[in-house]
Structure 1
Amino acid sequence: MGQPPEPDQPPSPYEPPPGGQEPQYGQPYGQQPQYGQPYGQQPGEQYEQPAYGQPAYEHPGQPPHGQQWGQQPPYAPQVPYGQYGPPGGPGSGRGTNVLAILSLVFAFVFAPAGIALGHLAKRQLRTSGEDGEQLARWGLILSYIFTGLFLLACCGWLALVIWAGSDGTNT
């Protein structure tokens, strides 16, 4: 372990260098860091402090490592007044049509109102581009089914009353 390295081999990184001096972290053997010298800069290289407000690049042509204090991040360009923004596909955050939701709710509460709200919702959805097409469709389907069942129950009840009121004799 204390043997000098052979001439063709580099010195071992596990042994202290000859001469008794310990290298500083990140510095080659024999070179000590100087006060005020930026990390990674070789001795003898000229270091220029950037002017106030100028980005401090470590290497020319490369962006800085972080956002400089006092600078705002870049924003997307504003759309001119009176023009539309980028087109949005289905589910682009425009929201769900309120009438479509109410159509589905009223299908269970008062089905004829659910029918009217479902048709109004479908008309609005054709022009507004909102979400809720399936809600309006299911609101209409359930409203028609429950209205049909209610009418069938009313007709059956009426027929039962008429049948029970007759005593079976013809006059």
Structure 2
Amino acid sequence: MTYPPTPAPDGSQPPPHDPLIQAYQPLPPYGSPQGYAPPQAYQVPAAQDPYAPGAPAPYGYAAGQQVPYDYGYAGSPYGYSQYPPGPRPTDGMAIASLVVSCVSIVGLCGFWLGGILGVVGAILGHVARRRIRQSGANGGGMALAGIIVGWVVTAIALTVGVVVGVLIANDPSSTTF
């Protein structure tokens, strides 16, 4: 768009631009017809105001005793939540269970090391799931994966141990007497 606007081919002029508006416009005077109503129109009558001087005290408070606001107190419908907003924390023992169980897979190369680490990972997973049920934290899936992987690796290590033991026992060259 050009400034000032150019006339159209038929010779007519486009309408003029709107005037600029200030970023901040002061409010009209208080009590004016364009402004806000005076405060008397919004005041609660003294007979209905529970905090007015001379008003009867609410149940549980002596006359003349200051009634506290209950914002933020436990049990208040206006109180803050017990937990901050956002995601719940992940249980550290669930993470440890999954890590130890995954390391036990590599430990299968070391025969007994994989089986021992598998048992440790599975036990950590069971403890983590109990803690998650009580606290409501995240990590239930990781704990379950740690349990499954840990017990599977332990079963593989025991199976390989039994097979190797049977093969050694049945080897004719291994007799010593």
TM (norm. structure 1) is 0.50
CA deviation after TM superposition for structure 1 residue 140, in Å: 0.4
SS of 2:89's equivalent in the other structure is coil
User: Cα gap change, 1:85/1:147 in structure 2, threshold over 3 Å: closer, same or farther?
Assistant: farther
* Runs of 5+ unmatched residues, structure 1: 1-11, 16-22, 28-37, 40-54, 62-76
- Greater relative contact order, per chain length (Cα 8 Å cut-off, separation 6+): 2
- Please state if 1:112 is matched with 2:110: no
- Please state if 1:96 is matched with 2:90: yes
CA deviation after TM superposition for structure 1 residue 100, in Å: 0.6
Q: What is the percentage of aligned positions where both structures have the same residue? A: 26
Count of aligned residue pairs for this structure pair? 109
Question: Conserved in 1, the CA contact under 8 Å of 2:95 and 2:139?
Answer: yes
* Structure 2 counterpart of 1:147, one-letter code: T
Give the whole-Å Cα distance in 2 for the aligned partners of 1:14 and 1:122.
74
Give the whole-Å Cα distance in 1 for the aligned partners of 2:157 and 2:145.
18
- Please state if 1:79 is matched with 2:49: no
- Trace 1:15-164 onto structure 2 (pairs within 5 A): 26=19, 56-57=26-27, 60=35, 79-80=72-73, 85-86=80-81, 92-109=86-103, 110-164=117-171
User: Cα gap change, 1:161/1:87 in structure 2, threshold over 3 Å: closer, same or farther?
Assistant: same
* Runs of 5+ unmatched residues, structure 2: 1-11, 29-33, 37-69, 104-116
CA deviation after TM superposition for structure 1 residue 120, in Å: 0.6
Partner of 2:47: none
Give the whole-Å Cα distance in 2 for the aligned partners of 1:85 and 1:125.
23
Q: Could you give the per-residue CA deviations for residues 29-79 of structure 1, whole angstroms, max 9, x where no partner exists?
A: xxxxxxxxx96xxxxxxxxxxxxxxx9336735xxxxxxxxxxxxxxx962
Question: Conserved in 1, the CA contact under 8 Å of 2:168 and 2:174?
Answer: no
Give the whole-Å Cα distance in 2 for the aligned partners of 1:105 and 1:81.
39
* Structure 1 counterpart of 2:81, one-letter code: P
CA deviation after TM superposition for structure 1 residue 165, in Å: 4.7
User: Cα gap change, 1:57/1:101 in structure 2, threshold over 3 Å: closer, same or farther?
Assistant: same
Q: Could you give the per-residue CA deviations for residues 99-126 of structure 1, whole angstroms, max 9, x where no partner exists?
A: 1111111112221110110011011001
RMSD: 3.9
SS of 2:171's equivalent in the other structure is helix
